[in-house]
Structure 1
Amino acid sequence: MTKKLEYHLLGNHLLENGFSLLFGAIFFQDEKLNRLTRKILKSELEEQVLEDGAHFELSPMYHLILLQRALDGYNLLINNKHELQVVEEQLKEAIQEMVNWLHTIMFSNGDIPMLNNSTGGQALEPKVILNYAEQLGFLPEKVHLKESGFRKFVAGNFEVVADIGQVGPTYQPAHAHSDTLSFVLYHQGKPVIVDRGISTYEKNQIREDERGTASHNTVMINSKEQTDVWGGFRVGRRAKPFILEESELMLMASHTGYDRMGIGHIREWQVQENKIQIIDRIEGDKAEGLAFLHLHPDIEPEQTEEGIFRLNNHILSFDNFKYVRKEKYAFCLGFNKKVIAYKIRIEFKGVLKTTIKE
């Protein structure tokens, strides 16, 4: 391990190396391993845990995995003799921040939003992680989401997580997707509009599609990607989001993904107790937008009239569109596990208004 530290990959790989070294240092009571543990965990925890508590790769799945590693390391330290007091204190602080972020981003039924490189079956359930943390003395508190670029709105029976985050980290964006201004929506603790997740890490067309703009609940303009994702884990030109206006139940944001075409996209979320309204504005000549909404596999949309769908207990409607149709897509349950679900595809120019109401 000491000769194969993953400095060439950095990110979660190097942090995982640090946790492995921590176990070796405690087991062997070895000073060389102590020094390496201090060096890696000190720098990487400072770098990788953002101010609001999110892991900086902005994948809720990896956040769970690394929080479990941190809890295991802390559990080891408080139950054994060691000379790593500085690491113990730093872990204690980082864990509390990560617990708070998880508690805040998590939906009321215990799900996490499957944003960026996230999928099922790779991490313990969030409630299990939070229970483990509580046993070690970490009680969750709600925090203001900021540095991670996620926002959460709760009103009535609706819960919405919006993604206005940067591609991150800038020097290692392997887990980033082209999903600026995407969102996930739950109602009464059940998923309605979802991120499709991922099913592979192979460098193939499936991987490219699952990272692409059209696989997220956002807007693609003139069939161009917001952010250039390629090579399985690479990112080229990237959209940079920015907030225009924000309050407790409203968010308006834009991004630079189409600046090179002289086109802008502004999205506004308005969250009320009995409905959610999303307003998309496209500014620029010859700009044609495609909006996508990916529905959970349990929901089969029934079109009642043009631009209006019944989604089990909800009504989904659109105003100012060129056409709307439902299509099938592959919802990812885990690696190499997919089921068929429905998405709504909307073509529009100018302004599109989307309403989901009870």
Structure 2
Amino acid sequence: MRNITWYVHRLKAMKFGEILWRTQQKFLQRKEYKKYYTQNLPVTEIVINSTISALSPDYLRIGLEQNCIDAELFSSLDLFQGSFSYQQYKKSWNAGFQTENTWDENTFSYKINCAGRIDIGDIRTNWELNRHYQFSALAKSYYISGEKSFLNELADLFQDWNHHNLFLHGVEWTSAMEIAIRVNSWIFTYCFLCMAEKKHGVEYSITTLKNQLIHGVLVMTDYISAHLSRFSSANNHLIIELYAVAMAGILFDYRRWTEFALKKLTEELIRQNYKDGVNKEMSLHYQTFIMEAYGLLMLTMEKNEIKIPDIWYAYLSKMSEFVADCCGDYGETIVFGDNDEGKILDLTGKHFNHYHYVLELMSCVLPQKYNKTVGFYENIRWMVSREQLCRAKKKSAYVSPDAKCYREGGYTLIKDQKRSIFIAIDHADLGYGTLAAHGHADALSFQMYVKGEPIFVDPGSPNYHITPQERDNYRSTYCHNTASVERQNQSEMLGAFLWGRRSKTNLISFQQKMGIKLEAMTEYNGIIHHRRYQYADGVLKIWDSFTGANGKNKEQILLLNPTAVLEKGPKGILIKTPNSQVLILNSSKQISKINNYIYSASYTYATEGKRIEFCSIKNTLALEIQILERKHEGKMCV
């Protein structure tokens, strides 16, 4: 019944043009079933048209730095910060990960439902292994060292993957974006093998592998071009797909691919981002995800003397400012919305800070630098020459102001003068397009870090394909640092990546006189919720007022970092962390409750934390949060 309801709501989110396009895609899938699926062939053996097959690659067009310094040899692929063992799973291409079950590698890809399959596992986890970062890292390691063990490992994994993942068989062909990331990995693998061949001599195994890789890249890029995400699905997926088409176009000097992709990437950059630098998906992770695509492509375009549109510089500069403003001086980053830790290029196999990496990348292609380091990440050292890195280091540095309000994008970021207190406030729209796929019902919520330690946190995104109720909980109003009326959600959840009725959120005022003052409102279900913030000298005051909710219970919600210690006292509730203490004063005398909630600091990881609820039927509520510094045990001062 739930599936039928979901399909009804999904159709309502589509316009006639999208329904027509999706119908056409169904007919295309039927043709592909007969043309490709029934052949039972790996992608390396699929026959393609003569125009595509005649294209000739040149690895020099990708422009890898052949004398990259401080490169590491590949040892293992990090699977979500060590949540899963690479050595255990490295050939388990169709593993369910969260269960002992596996995805069927023989079923026609379009007949597989990947969403919400708790009987098998989270498909996003499975796709991480199949993005093939390990392939490019192994090829790089062979180029650096000349050790044939790396080449043999690569050849063995490559052949095994193709044997178990025939073209349009199984879950590895259900997402054009996943294929696009795989195309990128195969392109870089090919380039490193070409460099290794030049450095260590020609070997039959390398020649065979190179030919198979190139043929696979052609087939997959041609496939992506026919299956680009469109209409309500055209979010970050479309940008990554176009990035892969552009990179393949440059590799093969095929202007049809390159010019089409660059034109569309310009259109999508404007369509999917606000002018002030905030991505409309309302997820910092997905913002840096697409920024990585533009940054890598810009470096490749520069090396091939392809003009970069001026609008790219304008938008990406503003987007870089926003990401830099979301990063604190203690290494912390405040993230709203979904975060599945996706990336495009990984030449080491090790976990790295994607936000700082993208800021380094932007520092190399834009007029300013946005990160303290430039050239720290190996990905960048392979893409940028030493001379370019030196020039980037000398660029003027963007400095985040103490407070900045993104009026259009919908976020306000506050840092005290010592940069030890970092507060972020959400007054944004729910999300992008008719789906708002990665947004959360978190209007008027906030997060707070003190000396790099999270105090009041966002619940995170532990898994996209858990039970519908669990997925809804992580996106719910009740699981964010805002206020709700009888636990109602501000927006209507109709599916894991689908929303119905949405709240309307507006910024009313923002002032920087005698501290920071911000007022915003959100309207939903006949309720109007006003929230006012005031910050000065280590004290954050919050006032909530409601209309249309007389006699109903209201909850002010605070989600605590699970490592924090909570103590109730006569003055209020004291929150202790290793480096700071925070005192919460309940100035409206609401009843306080302390319950548990599930917190996710990173994808696939979840733990239990404490949630404080201040409850009252009053229409006006207030809280005061005092940040206290530890001087020595037993004494504190503001």
Deviates more, 1:164-173 or 1:229-238: 164-173
Go from structure 1 to structure 2 and tell me whether the alpha carbon gap of 1:12 and 1:144 turns closer, same or farther (over 3 Å shift): same
Go from structure 1 to structure 2 and tell me whether the alpha carbon gap of 1:323 and 1:301 turns closer, same or farther (over 3 Å shift): same
Residue 127 (structure 1) shift: 2.1
Is this contact kept in 1: 2:588–2:623, CA < 8 A? no
Deviates more, 1:177-186 or 1:188-197: 188-197
1:298 to 563, 576, 594: 563
What per-residue deviation string (whole Å, max 9, x for no partner) do you get for residues 255-313 of structure 1? 11142xxx322111110112111111223422320121011122121112374334341
- 1:93 is matched with 314
Matched position secondary structure for 1:301:
strand
Residue 24 (structure 1) shift: 1.1
| Aligned Cα root-mean-square deviation (Å) | 2.1
TM-score norm. by structure 2 comes to 0.53
Matched position secondary structure for 2:436:
coil
Go from structure 1 to structure 2 and tell me whether the alpha carbon gap of 1:144 and 1:344 turns closer, same or farther (over 3 Å shift): closer
Q: Does the alignment pair 1:350 with 2:619?
A: yes
> Quick one: higher RCO (CA 8 Å, sep 6+), 1 or 2?
1
- 1:59 is matched with 283
Q: Mapping of 1:1-358 within 5 angstroms?
A: 1-8=224-231, 9-82=233-306, 85=307, 87-118=308-339, 124-137=353-366, 138-140=368-370, 141=398, 142=400, 144-156=405-417, 157-202=420-465, 204-248=468-512, 249-259=516-526, 263-284=527-548, 285-305=550-570, 307-312=572-577, 313-348=581-616, 349-357=618-626, 358=628
- 2:4 is matched with none
What per-residue deviation string (whole Å, max 9, x for no partner) do you get for residues 291-340 of structure 1? 21011122121112374334341211212244102222211022321122
Is this contact kept in 2: 1:116–1:175, CA < 8 A? yes
C-alpha distance in structure 2 between counterparts of 1:302 and 1:15, whole Å: 48
Go from structure 1 to structure 2 and tell me whether the alpha carbon gap of 1:190 and 1:341 turns closer, same or farther (over 3 Å shift): same
C-alpha distance in structure 1 between counterparts of 2:363 and 2:238, whole Å: 27
Is this contact kept in 2: 1:155–1:271, CA < 8 A? no
Residue 174 (structure 1) shift: 0.5
**Structure with more of its chain in helix, by fraction:** 2
Is this contact kept in 2: 1:221–1:287, CA < 8 A? yes
Residue 31 (structure 1) shift: 2.0
What per-residue deviation string (whole Å, max 9, x for no partner) do you get for residues 160-190 of structure 1? 1100001222423001111110111112232
Is this contact kept in 2: 1:119–1:332, CA < 8 A? no
Go from structure 1 to structure 2 and tell me whether the alpha carbon gap of 1:173 and 1:310 turns closer, same or farther (over 3 Å shift): closer
C-alpha distance in structure 2 between counterparts of 1:170 and 1:252, whole Å: 26
Residue 41 (structure 1) shift: 0.8
Is this contact kept in 2: 1:291–1:347, CA < 8 A? yes
Residue 67 (structure 1) shift: 1.3
C-alpha distance in structure 2 between counterparts of 1:89 and 1:81, whole Å: 15
Matched position secondary structure for 2:464:
coil
What per-residue deviation string (whole Å, max 9, x for no partner) do you get for residues 211-235 of structure 1? 1111111111023211112310111
Deviates more, 1:104-113 or 1:273-282: 104-113
C-alpha distance in structure 1 between counterparts of 2:615 and 2:330, whole Å: 33
C-alpha distance in structure 2 between counterparts of 1:56 and 1:299, whole Å: 32
Go from structure 1 to structure 2 and tell me whether the alpha carbon gap of 1:198 and 1:318 turns closer, same or farther (over 3 Å shift): same
What per-residue deviation string (whole Å, max 9, x for no partner) do you get for residues 109-164 of structure 1? 23332211125576843222222322334423347522210011223542211000
C-alpha distance in structure 2 between counterparts of 1:210 and 1:303, whole Å: 27
Is this contact kept in 2: 1:160–1:183, CA < 8 A? yes
Q: Match of 2:258, as an amino acid?
A: N
TM-score norm. by structure 1 comes to 0.91
- Structure 2 unmatched ranges of 5 or more: 1-223, 344-351, 371-397, 629-638
Go from structure 1 to structure 2 and tell me whether the alpha carbon gap of 1:311 and 1:318 turns closer, same or farther (over 3 Å shift): farther
C-alpha distance in structure 2 between counterparts of 1:234 and 1:61, whole Å: 19
C-alpha distance in structure 2 between counterparts of 1:126 and 1:38, whole Å: 24
Residue 344 (structure 1) shift: 0.7
Is this contact kept in 1: 2:478–2:488, CA < 8 A? no
Q: Match of 1:126, as an amino acid?
A: Y
C-alpha distance in structure 2 between counterparts of 1:187 and 1:271, whole Å: 14
What per-residue deviation string (whole Å, max 9, x for no partner) do you get for residues 73-116 of structure 1? 1111111244xx2x454433332222111112222323332211
Matched position secondary structure for 2:488:
coil
Q: Match of 1:296, as an amino acid?
A: N
Deviates more, 1:314-323 or 1:216-225: 314-323
Matched position secondary structure for 1:171:
coil
Is this contact kept in 1: 2:541–2:624, CA < 8 A? yes
Go from structure 1 to structure 2 and tell me whether the alpha carbon gap of 1:191 and 1:158 turns closer, same or farther (over 3 Å shift): same
Deviates more, 1:153-162 or 1:38-47: 153-162
Is this contact kept in 2: 1:242–1:255, CA < 8 A? yes
Q: Look at both structures and tell me which one has the larger radius of gyration over its CA atoms.
A: 2
